[in-house]
Chain A
Amino acid sequence: MTAIRIEQLIKKYGQQTALHIDHLEIEPGTLTGIVGNNGAGKTTLFRLMLDLIEPTAGKAIIAEQAVTGSDHWKPFTGSYLDEGFLIDFLTPEEYFYFVGKLHGMDPAAVDERLKEFNRFISDEVLGQKKYIRQLSTGNKQKVGIVAAMMVRPGLLILDEPFNYLDPSSQIMVKRMLKAENEARGTTMLVSSHNLNHLTNICSRVILLEKGKIIKDLTPPQDDLGEVEQYFSLQAEDQNTERAGDPASDQNPARDTNRDTGHNAGPRR
């Protein structure tokens, strides 16, 4: 039995296809990484899996049942995609209690469970008498990750969990995911821009580009170097395209600004 199955899943916005996956199966207990450039369709895929957007065609199936219009997957699924998953007028404690209550956990059970995340969140998040809206972006990210993991889900979906976190916290997230996956066999789907993070923990890495799966690798058997090579080539192509842009010839600084968001000089 597969944990997740995707069949002919298509999501279009107008004429533009954001995602088109013919077939994908995720086995139970795997920790799967999704990589891809901006706009590759990672978040769209997750939103489709969580029934937050309607597929144009096809279906995402969790536990042998399509998610669209169904709630059967909610009791065993934990997820955090972005700040839209946070209730920002609650304190982190209140938010954890609320999420815990939805999953049948009483406050004492939540407190007990939160102890396991003490090192990850304690000093900066808990007991601060701050609402979530007053936390830094990194701490909001931590609250979202903990709320998703705290309910001991059978399926965990995290979109870019390493974003906004300091290096120590990034390492802690990796360890927590790995430990939870190994100890409880949680099926996990994690996206990231950073290949190194996924290489360290994932038993499978899927490369998405322009809404399609272009590589499906299982490290360490498969060499992730070719994924890195793929992104390098992409970057080279973009630089070459820009070099041919007449505007670029006239004003190289403008070109660099468009690429990086600041005037940092040419990038290779």
Chain B
Amino acid sequence: MASHNIPKILLQHGWLSFRRAHYFDRSMGVKILMVFVGFIFIWYLAMAGALLPQLLDYVFPAKEPHHAFFSILLYLYAADLVTRFFVQSPPKQLIISYLPLPVSRSKLAGFILLRGWFSIFNIYLFPLLIPFFMRTLLFPVSANAFWLAVLGCFLLGALNHSLITWYKTWPGRQARIAALVLFIAGAGVAGGLYPSAFMNISEQLGRAFIAGNPWAFMLPLAAVAFFQSLSKKGLVQSFYDWAGTGHTKAPAGSSRIEKFFAGIPVFGTYWELEWKLIMRNKRASGGIRQWPLAIIGIPLFLYFAPGESSGQYIYLLVMVAGGYGFYHLQYAFSWESRFFDLIASRDADLYRFIQAKYYFYSLLALSQILPMLILLGFAAPDMVLPMAGMFFYVTGVIFAFLFYTGVNNSTRIDPNKRASFNFEGTSGTLFMTILAAMFSVIILMIIAYFLPFRMEENFAMVTGATGLIFILLHPRWLRATTKKFQRKKYHNLSKYREK
């Protein structure tokens, strides 16, 4: 094998892939907006961390805030694990292009694993944890306790990182499914059946961290080493699978839902294509597969969430009530950017195409919001009406807004690339569009405030009525969107074609 300085070269490539990402191709305005949003996110976490002691003091008055926090520490990292499961990229995405190089595969795998540690998921909790530990440990207890708690939390994050890396790297599908089933069963038993025992173990672990108990650090460290070595083995074993071209799992038209769509007159052709577009691309399918969790998770969150009025969760309702469509339609026509030349040059009616898209995402939203409304009826009955009203508002007003302004977003999307946040399809206009859509509900809240009934009912009426008007008038704004698209067709097509 050649003796190039491969770690150095790969490190340089890692830096270049970051520096030359689509994010940096954006205009200065977009970059500033993104930095601003990132800053707001960090600020929000830091404020949450700084205010957490008061909240814990309120919920667990008999305990010190840091002890109370330690009792939910394992829940926090279980949630972190679930998030990573859906969003964190497997290291194989980094490795394929390096496979033909004259480098030992073991060395390559080792370095790719090392590079995998430079992930946002390994640091994103610290803006919350550090202010919290500063307030509860650094000043009231000791600097030692502070650093040991930070180290302990880092190790728990590292364990999650290693578990996910192993899970997404290991070639044996059955072993991975067994691991997933075991995890869900374990979490269900621990968190659901014996919550007090689980919280007690969690608290003991946190106490062991700040007491400097070596076992509390050695055990996660050993587990990290174990899963990292398994991941390395998995990476080396999986090389051939990843380098191969692969086959589709299902033959053409084998899915029942695809056949169902195909059989629908008028819109069936477009709906079938839309469904395949979502389900056969990592980015889109990743988004829609999170919905079953959201249907259960949002009612659960609203059940436990503190607060006296539904108004404080208004933006959550905006983001949720439109189902997956709210996310997808932000890039309305960019999803087809790679084959819009075909759509434009074949006998496809653009109005029908846009109309089919609107109906598809409205019906999808309905199918997602109905079960959520039923669960909300048990978990947070006060939120049922606002959520229902918001469904009409989002599928009427906001969808109309996204469709119409979506014509201005001529950026190209490669849906095969996996990204939780799509810098490639992002533009300054899009940012402003989303902000405007989110803030538009403020006006409705003000109107609702002056109506005679309860706030929840007023708000549901205002949003529902506004939304219904837009839904009823949809042929008008869909035609306006089509005309606008025709006007911008050449510009958008040329941008879609850019690579």
Using CB atoms and an 8 Å cutoff, list the residues of chain A in contact with chain B. Answer: 50-54, 69, 71, 74-75, 77, 79, 81-82, 84-91, 93-94, 97-99, 101-103, 128-131, 133-134
Closest B residue to A79 by beta carbon equals B345
Which residues in A have their C-beta under 8 angstroms from that of B345?
50-52, 74, 77, 79, 85
Contact B493 A52 (CB under 8 A): yes
Which residues in B have their C-beta under 8 angstroms from that of A90?
273, 276, 280
Indicate if B100 sits at the interface (CB-CB under 8 A). no
A90 to B279, CA, bound (A): 11
Indicate if B348 sits at the interface (CB-CB under 8 A). yes
Contact B253 A128 (CB under 8 A): no
A77 to B345, CA, bound (A): 8
Closest B residue to A88 by beta carbon equals B338
Which residues in B have their C-beta under 8 angstroms from that of A71?
347, 349
Instruction: How many A-B residue pairs have C-beta atoms within 8 angstroms? Tell me.
Output: 93
B241 to chain A, nearest CB (A): 14
Indicate if B341 sits at the interface (CB-CB under 8 A). yes
Contact B248 A91 (CB under 8 A): yes
Known A52-B341, A98-B269, A101-B269: A131·B346 in contact at CB below 8 Å: no
Instruction: Please give 7 more A-B residue pairs, beta carbons under 8 A apart, in addition to A50-B344, A84-B497, A129-B248.
Output: A51-B345, A85-B339, A94-B276, A102-B346, A102-B347, A129-B247, A134-B247
Interface secondary structure of A, over-half rule: loop
Contact A94 B252 (CB under 8 A): yes
Residue of A53, A81, A89 near B277 (CB, 8 A) is A89
Contact A130 B245 (CB under 8 A): yes
Taking residues whose C-beta sits less than 8 angstroms from the other chain, chain B's interface range is 20 to 34
Which residues in B have their C-beta under 8 angstroms from that of A77?
345
Closest A residue to B247 by beta carbon equals A129
Known A101-B269, A131-B280: A84·B347 in contact at CB below 8 Å: no
Known A69-B486, A94-B276: A84·B251 in contact at CB below 8 Å: no
A229 to B394, CA, bound (A): 65
Mask of B475-499 contacts with A, CB within 8 angstroms, 1/0: 0000000000010001001101100
Closest B residue to A78 by beta carbon equals B346
Closest A residue to B248 by beta carbon equals A129
Mask of B50-83 contacts with A, CB within 8 angstroms, 1/0: 0000000000000000000000000000000000
A128 to B251, CA, bound (A): 8
Closest B residue to A147 by beta carbon equals B342
Contact A103 B347 (CB under 8 A): yes
Indicate if B214 sits at the interface (CB-CB under 8 A). no
Indicate if B281 sits at the interface (CB-CB under 8 A). yes
A91 to B252, CA, bound (A): 6
B309 to chain A, nearest CB (A): 44
